[in-house]
Amino acid sequence: MSADTSEAQAGAAPQRSPSRLRVAVIDRDPGFLQVLTNRLDALRWDHRALSSAVTAEVLVAMRLNALVVDVAVLGPGSWEYLERVCARLPGLAVIVCTGPSSVVQRVRGLRLGADAWVTKPCHPEELICVMEAAVRRHRRTEMPAIEAAATVGEVTIRPDLYQAYRGTASLELTAREFEILHLLVQSDRVLRREEIYERVWGYAMAHGDRSVDVFVRKLRQKLRTASPEWSYIHTHFGVGYRFAPEADNGRPSEVDERQDAELSADLLDEEAGLDPAFAG
């Protein structure tokens, strides 16, 4: 999954999208699985149901964020299994979701490394919230993923440096200029001024505000200085702005065509199911 694709799909909230979580559920209760699956589909989480225990190595290969397990399914050796999985995947959120249990059992499960214990029957929404809480807590201490750089036309966008470059030469964009450029590049479609303003400034644009226009002008100026043979930001009269690198000599540039080809390839990847570990 390339950064471009994930952002495109996120669409609504690209800046803080926790992206799709990966979850596996070890359970055999058809009703439980049905209901949970529906909710997970609605949330667009990657999920998979397992009817019995799989080795920790397989779980590693799945690159999960969370694991929901009914210890009743595991039968004897369930405690050892739980302990092994928690030890082998310290970054995995493990939620035990099972029928009535004793305090001793719950204490034991939590001490072995489970992050939460939910008693069936339970509302799927609550279980999902518990998963979110466990994953959220884990991610908080993680280093935020460094967003990948992207090259469009002759300029390279570097989210990790808050800057754009032509080769190794910085465009010297200010923070706000970079944010607008970054947004336009990611969106890859016409954006209305109100949309740009709201997503960059964080609140609604006042009527008659020309700030976006002024910033687009500054951006165009710096882009032209750095890369005079190309045009990048296009005005759609009465609508807004759109980013698309185009070489001045007629054709929309081979680079652009190549990117279009990649885009569809990414989308195909996504439709195919993202991860080989989940495909089988």
Partner DNA sequence: TTGCGTGTAAAGATCCTGTTACCGGAATCG
Partner DNA sequence: CGATTCCGGTAACAGGATCTTTACACGCAA
Contact 74, 109 (CB under 8 A): no
Rounded least distance, CB 26 to its own copies, Å: 19
Which of the stretches 26-34, 49-57, 150-158, 224-232 binds its own copies when contact is defined by CB under 8 A? 150-158
Greatest Cα pair distance in the chain: 75
Of residues 196 through 235, those in contact with DNA by CB under 7 A are: 201, 206, 209-211, 213-217, 220, 235
Rounded least distance, CB 62 to its own copies, Å: 10
Distance CA 250, CA 66 (A): 51
Contact with DNA (CB under 7 A): which of 174, 190, 231, 246? 174
Number of residues that bind its own copies (CB under 8 A): 78
Q: Does the protein bind its own copies through residue 107 (CB under 8 A)?
A: yes
Distance CA 93, CA 140 (A): 13
Q: Does the protein bind DNA through residue 177 (CB under 7 A)?
A: yes
CA distances from 194 to 178, 202, 203 (A): 18, 11, 10
Q: Does the protein bind DNA through residue 11 (CB under 7 A)?
A: yes
| Closer residue to DNA, CB minimum distance, 106 or 199 | 199
Phi-psi region of 81 (alpha: psi -120 to 50; beta: other; left: phi over 0): alpha
| Closer residue to DNA, CB minimum distance, 215 or 232 | 215
Give which of its own copies, DNA, none residue 267 binds (C-beta under 5 to 8 Å, depending on kind): its own copies
Query: Inter-axis angle of helices 124-140 and 30-43, to 10 degrees?
Result: 50
